[in-house]
Amino acid sequence: MVRAVNAPYLLAALLAGLVACGPTRTRTGEASGGPVVPVVPGPAAPDAAATPEPPAVREDVAARFREESARWIPEPYNDLYLGEPLPEVQEGYPELRPFRTPADPERLEWYEMRGPRGLVLRLGFSPAGKPQARRLRSVQFLSLLQGPVPADAPAEPRAIAAWQEWLGRAYGPHIEALRDKYGERADVYSCAGSGEHPVVRIVWRGEALAVTAAFLLHDKGLSSTLMFTPRDVADRYLRATQCRWLQDRVL
pLDDT grade, residue 86 (50/70/90)? very high
pLDDT above 90: residue 34: no
Residue 133's closest CA among 86, 64, 91? 86
Instruction: Give the Cα separation of 149 and 90 in Å (integer).
Output: 40
Q: Which residue has the higher pLDDT, 7 or 183?
A: 183
Q: How many CB atoms lie within 10 A of CB 220?
A: 14
Task: Give me the pLDDT at residue 41, please.
Answer: 53
Higher-confidence residue: 164 or 83? 83
The DSSP-derived string for 186-246 is: EEEEEEEEETTEEEEEEEEE-SSEEEEEEEEEETTEEEEEEEEEEHHHHHHHHHHTTEEEE
Q: In this structure, are residues 163 and 171 in contact, taking their beta carbons and an 8 Å threshold?
A: no
Residue 18, pLDDT score: 45
DSSP three-state, residue 169: helix
With beta carbons less than 8 A apart as the criterion, state whether 81 and 66 touch: yes
Check residue 220 and give its pLDDT.
Answer: 72
pLDDT higher than 90, residue 67: yes
Residue pair 236/210 in contact (Cβ under 8 Å)? The answer is: no
Asked whether the predicted pLDDT for residue 227 surpasses 80, the reply is yes
Phi, psi of 165 (to 5 degrees): -65, -45
In this prediction, residue 46 has a pLDDT band, given cuts at 50, 70 and 90, of low
Among 24-28, 57-61, 212-216, the least confident range: 24-28
pTM score of the predicted model:
0.78
Question: 56 or 75, which is more confident?
Answer: 75
